[in-house]
């Protein structure tokens, strides 16, 4: 085979090999860590799902629990709109009588950040934790901090919130609430 023909053959085989690699990469070949989703949604749909907005989420506080001066509740966000993605940490603001903001200090617990794809009716959640007994520099008789009547819950990456009733104890520790990242489904504290 003449030298020019051999060179064209080599170039053609390299081009074919490269095209095969590109095809494998674009079709999902190779290893990637799986994303945590509430349901199985085709890869293309997950990639195109927009962020979940407060207007399409219904928030609730579920499974309150208490023990040894500790308080727990799970914040649950349910999708009431279309397919969307959510992941990361919720924002919180406690509100007192008349909707007045009261001390709230969100402390983010370390944990894996996952993107959760929700379809209508599916949920993402995060268990919340706070102290139920006052610190030494808080009131020792009566409530340690003002009694919340509501809490504003802001989805990750959004600036609009969903407000729900707070029927639980005051948040001692100057309003500190420990919050892990959201996960798919409803997890208990």
Give the CATH number, domain containing residue 103: 2.60.40
Q: Residue 144 has what pLDDT?
A: 95
Per the structure, the count of domains in the chain is 2
Same domain, 26 and 114: no
- Asked, for residue 40, whether it belongs to a domain, the answer is no
* Full domain range(s) for residue 87: 54-184
Residue 2 and residue 77 in one domain: no
Q: Tell me the average confidence (pLDDT) per consecutive run of 10 residues in the chain, 189 residues long.
A: 45 39 36 37 59 96 94 97 95 96 96 94 97 93 94 96 96 97 88
Q: CB-side exposure of 105: number of CA atoms within 13 Å?
A: 10
**pLDDT of 30:** 35
Burial class (CB in 10 A: 0-12, 13-18, 19+), 162: buried
Burial 166-175 (b: 16+ CB within 10 A, else e): bebbbbbbeb
On whether residue 43 sits in a domain, the answer given is no
Query: What per-residue confidence (pLDDT) applies to 2?
Result: 53
Q: Quick one: 96 and 137 in the same domain?
A: yes
26 and 58 share one domain = no
Residue 174 DSSP one-character state: T
Looking at the domain assignment, is residue 107 inside a domain?
yes
Domain assignment present for 20: yes
Together in a domain, 26 and 59: no
Q: What is the pLDDT of residue 153?
A: 98
Q: What is the pTM of this model?
A: 0.74
| CA 111 – CA 104 distance, rounded (Å) | 21
């Amino acid at each position: 085979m003449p030298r020019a023909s051999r060179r064209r053959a080599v170039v053609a085989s390299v081009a074919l090999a490269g095209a095969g690699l590109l095809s494998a990469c674009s079709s999902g070949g190779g290893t990637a860590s799986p994303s945590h989703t509430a349901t199985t949604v085709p890869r293309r749909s997950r990639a195109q799902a927009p962020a979940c907005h407060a207007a399409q989420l219904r928030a609730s506080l579920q499974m309150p629990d208490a023990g040894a001066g500790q308080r727990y509740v799970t914040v649950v966000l349910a999708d009431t709109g279309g397919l969307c993605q959510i992941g990361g940490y919720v924002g919180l603001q406690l509100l007192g009588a008349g909707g007045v903001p009261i001390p709230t200090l969100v402390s983010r617990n370390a944990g894996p950040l996952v993107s959760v794809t929700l379809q209508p009716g599916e949920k993402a959640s995060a268990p919340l934790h706070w102290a139920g007994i006052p610190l030494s520099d808080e009131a020792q008789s009566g409530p340690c901090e003002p009694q919340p009547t509501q809490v504003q819950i802001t989805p990750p990456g959004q600036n609009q919130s969903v407000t729900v009733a707070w029927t639980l104890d005051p948040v001692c520790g100057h309003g500190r609430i420990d919050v892990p990242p959201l996960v798919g489904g409803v997890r208990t504290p």
